[in-house]
Chains A and B, each alone.
Chain A
Amino acid sequence: MAKITFVTTDNKSIILEGTSGSVMQLAVDNSIPGIDGDCGGVCSCATCHVHVTPEHVKKTGEASEIETDMLELNDHSNEYSRLCCQIEITDTLDGLVLQVAERE
């Protein structure tokens, strides 16, 4: 079980608990504004863009090459950007705080 906090673009914090699946799916199931996951989680649409709290990058690991390429030219991307469909929920993520990125 992992508690994950989503901070929306209008600065609301929503805490969710997940056990499996992707962080995107958890967010979509709970209607987190700004996380749509239109492609169903195959890293094709960039509608699940989040910024990982810098000190939590250890929990999530680094982005893959395809993910980095999808995000590099995004106006709202930074070095902590991830597509959260690519983050699998495990106990390691407990306490993770994610900022939902602005949509292009």
Chain B
Amino acid sequence: MSENFSNDKICVVIGASHAGVNFAFSLRSAGWKGNIILFDKDPVLPYHRPPLSKGYLVNEDASEKNFLKSVESYEKENIILRLGVTVISINRSENNIVLEDGSVQVYDKLILATGARPIIPSIQGIESVNNLYSLRTSEDVENIRNAITISRDKRVIVIGGGYIGLEVAASLQKMGATVTVLEREKRILARVTAPEMSHFFQELHAKNGVDILTDKDVISFSTKKGIDTVVCSDGSSFDADIVIIGVGIHVNLELAKNAGLKIENGIRVDETTRTNDEDIYAIGDCTYHHNPHYDRFIRLESVQNAVDQAKVAAAAICDKYLIYNTLPWFWSDQYDIKLQMVGLSTGYDKVLVRNEESENPKFSIWYFKDNILLAVDAINNPKAYVLGTKFIKANKKVDQSKLIDSTIDFKPANLLIE
């Protein structure tokens, strides 16, 4: 296929997931008239990732609804998709990239939306485990679904009690598997939530028949007669037909690093998402960027960040100056529980819990530092999530005694200190 688009500007995007795809469409609507070419080694039409561990795993038919954009949308906006193609290197001095077949694609602007990949820890015996999966791509989901379908006993060990591990556990349980989650820390979600929330999810999973075991440091795997056994440092061991690894991610930095771009826990970008090369921008999970609200550099694994940085990069390239200044938000669905989170709770010194009168669990956890609201986690409680967003954005002081009194109506006027 000829990529010889002479006399025309070319914007090349490496990585066609939430960040890359949203960028391409934002760039077009920001007025870019030149070519837009998206590369991704994943051969599947770009899709929403969050549902992979949730509805998409359980319900095969959901796949069609899961595409970020239809094929026709790319055609209509004249965005070229080069799927199933791996980019090998970036030549900054020549403004081009080299593809796996040795061919070269030149660029005027280059966007790195390379994302991340699951960590596969180097645990003794891991290479010989029969059915070992992580979950990041739609192919992973197909493989897990097939493995569950053909497995007779369907005993699943999930290693890692973070959001991915817990969502997969909930989904596989729904699919008829017997699931045990092994978490290395003293509590699940230890890195991202307060103990109250860890406790809630531990109980929720127990109620639904998923065993969550904490303080379980996996040190080896052994395989006998097709059955894998997971062994922990305390001597306990667990037989598994299927092992799922959900212990975090490695950022895909190799291309940027080899090209000599500035790296600090991610690709370092400025407030317009530009790297230290004026023609190269980076967006999404792979970036290390400044968050003005919390006034520090962070790396975020989230759809929100991917989409927001995509818009900022598109604006910057079209000379429409837009600064990255958004509040991080996240969500998770497990069983019939809806968790919505806003803000970053890191460094909190106080946690307040507000319980609503309700048949089903409905509460919110409010994180403060020096009485300043940092973050809110809301369980089945969108109002708390929306209020939290408003208060954090506007740096509002919250009346803490009123906040935890569920007889006081959940309205800004009732909860703010003038």
Contacts and interface: CB of A to CB of B under 8 A. Distances in A.
A40 B69 CA distance: 11
A29 B70 contact: yes
Contact of A70 (B25, B73, B386, B411): B386
Best-surrounded residue of A28, A38, A42, A43 (most CB of chain B within 10 A): A38
Contacts of A69: 381-383, 386
Given A28-B69, A31-B73, A40 B386 contact: no
Best-surrounded residue of A28, A69, A70 (most CB of chain B within 10 A): A69
A31 B22 CA distance: 11
A83 to B, nearest CB: 10
A44 B340 contact: yes
Contacts of B380: 66
Nearest to B64: A21
Contacts of B411: 73
A74 interface: yes
Best-surrounded residue of B25, B307, B381, B412 (most CB of chain A within 10 A): B307
Contacts of B90: none
A62 interface: no
B73 A42 contact: no
B134 to A, nearest CB: 21
Contact of A31 (B25, B304, B381): B25
Interface in B297-340: 303-304, 307, 329, 331, 333, 338, 340
B378 to A, nearest CB: 10
Contacts of A40: 48, 50-51, 66, 303
A25 interface: yes
Given A42-B333, A73-B383, A31 B65 contact: no
A70 B383 CA distance: 6
Contacts, number: 63
A21 B61 CA distance: 12
A41 B70 contact: no
A44 B380 CA distance: 11
Contacts of B50: 39-40, 42
A42 B65 CA distance: 12
B369 interface: no
A46 B385 CA distance: 11
Nearest to A65: B382
Nearest to A67: B382
B372 interface: no
B72 A29 contact: yes
B338 A66 contact: yes
A79 interface: no
B412 A29 contact: no
Given A39-B331, A44-B331, A69-B383, A25 B77 contact: no
A51 B53 CA distance: 32
Contacts of A41: 65
Interface string A5-31: 000000000000000011001001111
A42 B334 CA distance: 12
A102 B134 CA distance: 40
A70 B390 CA distance: 12
A42 B386 contact: no
A38 B25 contact: no
Interface in B257-297: none
A45 B330 CA distance: 9
Best-surrounded residue of A36, A44, A69 (most CB of chain B within 10 A): A44
Contacts of B387: 73
A31 B29 contact: yes
A70 B381 CA distance: 9
Contacts of A42: 50-51, 54-55, 331, 333
B73 A25 contact: no
A91 interface: no
Given A21-B65, A31-B77, A70 B382 contact: yes
Given A41-B65, A44-B331, A72 B72 contact: no
A33 interface: yes
Nearest to B55: A42
Name the 7 nearest CB pairs between A and B, nearest first.
A40-B48, A69-B382, A44-B331, A70-B382, A29-B70, A69-B383, A73-B386
Interface of B: 25, 29, 48, 50-51, 54-55, 65-66, 69-70, 72-73, 76-77, 303-304, 307, 329, 331, 333, 338, 340, 380-383, 385-387, 390, 411-412
8 contacts: A40-B48, A40-B50, A42-B50, A43-B338, A44-B340, A45-B329, A66-B382, A73-B390
